[in-house]
Amino acid sequence: MRRGPGAVKRRRVDRQGRISHDAAPMRPTELSRTASVLWTLASGATVFGALGAYEALSLSTSPSDATSGARFGAVALALLVGLTSAVFHAAALIGWRRGPLVTPTVDDAAAEASSAATVCARLLSLPIIAAAAFVGGYLAHGFVQRTFAGPFTALAALAGWTAAEYFVPTLRAACRAAVVRLCPTARVLGIRLSYFIVLVAVMGVAIVGVVALSRLDLGAWRLGGWVVVALGTFATPIVALATERWAAPARRAAAGCVVGAVIAALSGAVSLARSGEASAALMESGGLSGIAVGALRRLTDSDGDGISDRFGGGDCDDGNAEIFPGAREVPGNGVDDNCVDGDAPPPTEPPTPTSAPAAFPPSATQRGRPLNVVLLAIDTLRPDHLSFSGYERKTSPNIDAFARESVAFDHTLAASPNTPRSMPAVFTGRYASRVSWQKRFANYGALTDENETVFEVFARAGYSTEAQTAHWYWDKATGIKQGVGSWDNRGALSIKDSNTQSAAPDLTPRVVERLQGLRATGKPFVLFAHYFDPHGKYMAHPEVADFGDELMDKYDSEIAFVDRHLKPVFDVLDSPAFREDTVVVLFSDHGEAFKEHGVLFHGRHLFEEEIRATLFIRVPGISARRVEAPVSLIDILPTLADVTGLRAERALGLSLQPLMRGEPGWPADRVVFAEQLPYPNYETHLVAATSATKRKAIRDVTAGRTAVFDLVADPREKANLTASDRDAEPALRAALNAFIEADPGGP
């Protein structure tokens, strides 16, 4: 029989079981190839366009970057991703309609009901298997021989599967009865019910996985964009199948939607390729659009050096793989190797200041007896979340009391926004790029013997040197322990288990015991103690105030927790014997972000919330005061050496004694730097410079872009001054570029 354009091939089965075919009118759900493709593309454009519009409206950028170009770019890139995804969906749906997934057959409802019942029964039996595997894994967790844990868990799962088989027939019968009653055609949205059940199960697992990920403290990992991509990818075929009854009459509208989406996507991509500011804004704060910009940068990288000259990539010569932002600058070779303000001139003087000699004579106390040194590090402690700094919550009464008796540095900058780079900088008095590393770009780089740590400086002068910690980092941080006589890292757990560790209750008694023990020897000492607790994952502690359920609320409760457990340490240090001859330094290694610039936690940016650190120093004979001048954590070692009459000749920081005493001697034009060095978990290279005028420049070395902020008028760093004035703060930017180009590099 001749088939017309509105017919489909239909299979028939006669009484003898023979199969024949004839033509039958096309049903509304049996679309032509063209209509199916158009409708699927239109569905993808609609779903992703809506997601892009939401992202554009919630885009977190500075006012200068939050332009119509950035917002239109977010929608355009979402459409581009949606159309790309929909092409594959369209091909799949066409294949399904020609294959076993949805091919119409006669009298196959009973067979499909049986198949769907089997699939349903198998899925319902999975919890039994999962429960058995969980019990096996729980028991195996305590095995002494870890090699037996995996096989034991597998055997438990196998036992669960065997048990589940007894229930499958009963479950299959129940499922078949439900299918016959609820879905007599054994099809949903034109899809065979068994396939639809599998699709729903997969989507359910995906949704549970997304929810589980969203409830985890994932550090600086930003998964929001990928969640949006997954959501749009799952939603597109569902929307297409659920609404395809309108596909045929609305084919022209669908075609117009697709054409408009294509034009918008291409024009937005072209606009972003030319607009570095908009592309940078999307990379900074966009989710789905940030992923798309990153992909477009890689696709348009002509010379294969990993950096494009489009989409805000910043490559100043995309035809030469040896020239790109982040390349090693060779001074005086006539080539701008790293795309930073032309070729660097040959260096004529050291790029960073050296440690100043002792600015003041030793005090009477020092002449009578050497000063002891106690270093108290509180990980991830933001100074603006302390009551002492005016925070509205009473988070830190004991730290506040200590701060009121110390010199408080209100604008202290960490050398880096993460512990593996910041702590070595503190201990050596050198910026992270100037520390001598064995593997500079490793996640936990080891220090070489060329460095001189604070412990070595004091051990050489006859001091006892000890450390009390309880965290896995100190086992990985090889080289940083040079000069330490005794390092006690009891209680350190694995990386995974440390996320829920609260070590302060166990650490404080050890610190108190060692303070008293070291005092009893009569020998001068340096004691370092590291409290990790404010670091995520934030735990609930019934003994301190519960400020709420949001992340920042939990963070504040963690500060209150560590403050509570520091009180016994402060009580010892406040006793007359220690007050007379002990220098106490309380500091944090970096801050913590709460989406002020689109990210959580730390280790991704050089904005103030991540690099503003806590620093209080109490020295016998020096009165308490507050200091506004920007200082760095690399100044701690030179200061300790200065007040004790020693020298830290390899340190690059400055002694803070002039500021502490309120006397002349501090350089008014001092510039403080901070760095985010690339490492495997995050390969972006950032460098910042802050001047005494509270102007701050941040250079994205990887992308080749610089932003300048006025921290007095714009403390939240939202208004990039270079957006309206490309030459803003030329002296500060010149100092920043000189610091970058003097970077010695390393493997």
Instruction: Examine the fold and report which residue of 191, 221, 251 is the final residue of a domain before the chain moves on.
Output: 221
Residue type, 463: Y
Over residues 239-258, the mean pLDDT reads 77
118 within 8 A of 192, measured Cβ to Cβ: no
Check whether 13 has a pLDDT greater than 50: no
Check whether 1 has a pLDDT greater than 60: no
Distance CA 47, CA 235 (A): 7
Over residues 670-687, the mean pLDDT reads 84
Is 537 among the domain residues? yes
pLDDT, one tens digit per residue, over 328-368 is: 667 777 777 667 666 666 655 444 444 444 444 554 344 45
594, 614, 639, 693 from 411: Cα distances, Å: 19, 8, 16, 12
* Sign, Cα dihedral of 339, 341, 347, 352: negative
Instruction: Examine the fold and report which residue of 192, 221, 250 is the final residue of a domain before the chain moves on.
Output: 221
Residue with tokens 């196998």: 158
pLDDT, one tens digit per residue, over 400-416 is: 999 999 999 999 999 98
| Greater pLDDT, 326 or 489 | 489
96 within 8 A of 88, measured Cβ to Cβ: no
**Residues whose CB is less than 8 angstroms from the CB of residue 374 and which lie 6 or more positions away in sequence, other chains included:** 515, 526, 527, 529, 573, 582, 583, 584, 585
| pLDDT attached to residue 605 | 83
Is 276 among the domain residues? no
| pLDDT attached to residue 50 | 82
Is 160 among the domain residues? yes
Instruction: Examine the fold and report which residue of 221, 239, 258 is the final residue of a domain before the chain moves on.
Output: 221
Is 486 among the domain residues? yes
| Greater pLDDT, 326 or 692 | 692
**Nearest CA-CA partner of 175 in 116, 111, 108, 107:** 116
**Residues whose CB is less than 8 angstroms from the CB of residue 631 and which lie 6 or more positions away in sequence, other chains included:** 409, 411, 412, 413, 615, 656, 659, 672
| Greater pLDDT, 102 or 709 | 709
Check whether 454 has a pLDDT greater than 50: yes
Phi/psi of residue 254, each to 5°?
Answer: -65, -40
CB environment 346-363: b (16+ within 10 A), e (fewer) = eeeeeebeebbebbbebe
| pLDDT attached to residue 11 | 46
Alpha helices in 58-148 (DSSP H): 68-98, 109-140
pTM summary value: 0.68
**Nearest CA-CA partner of 232 in 279, 287, 183:** 287
Number of domains in the chain: 2
SS3 706: strand
Is 334 among the domain residues? no
Grade residue 295 by pLDDT with cuts at 50, 70 and 90: confident
Residue 679 DSSP symbol: B
Check whether 24 has a pLDDT greater than 80: no
| pLDDT attached to residue 351 | 46
371 CB-side CA count, 13 A? 26
Is 745 among the domain residues? no
| pLDDT attached to residue 613 | 93
Least confident of 175-179, 226-230, 365-369, 378-382: 365-369
Is 200 among the domain residues? yes
The CATH number that applies at residue 498 is 3.40.720.10
Tokens of 58: 């919630």
pLDDT, one tens digit per residue, over 500-516 is: 667 778 889 999 999 99
225, 232, 309 from 208: Cα distances, Å: 17, 16, 40
Top-ranked range on mean pLDDT: pick from 231-235, 338-342, 660-664: 660-664
SS3 707: strand
Is 700 among the domain residues? no
pLDDT, one tens digit per residue, over 529-549 is: 999 888 777 777 778 777 777
| pLDDT attached to residue 354 | 41
What would you report as the CA-atom Rg of the chain, rounded to the nearest whole angstrom? 32
Pairing of strands 407-409, 372-378: unpaired
| Greater pLDDT, 204 or 48 | 48
Q: What is the mean pLDDT of the chain?
A: 77
Check whether 451 has a pLDDT greater than 60: yes
Over residues 680-694, the mean pLDDT reads 84
Q: List the domain range (segments joined by +) for residue 215.
A: 109-221
Helix (H) or strand (E) holding 466: strand 464-468
3-state SS record for 55-72: HHHCCCCCCCCCCHHHHH
Tokens of 45: 């454009």
Over residues 430-448, the mean pLDDT reads 80
Grade residue 372 by pLDDT with cuts at 50, 70 and 90: very high
Least confident of 107-111, 380-384, 460-464, 485-489: 107-111
| pLDDT attached to residue 439 | 74
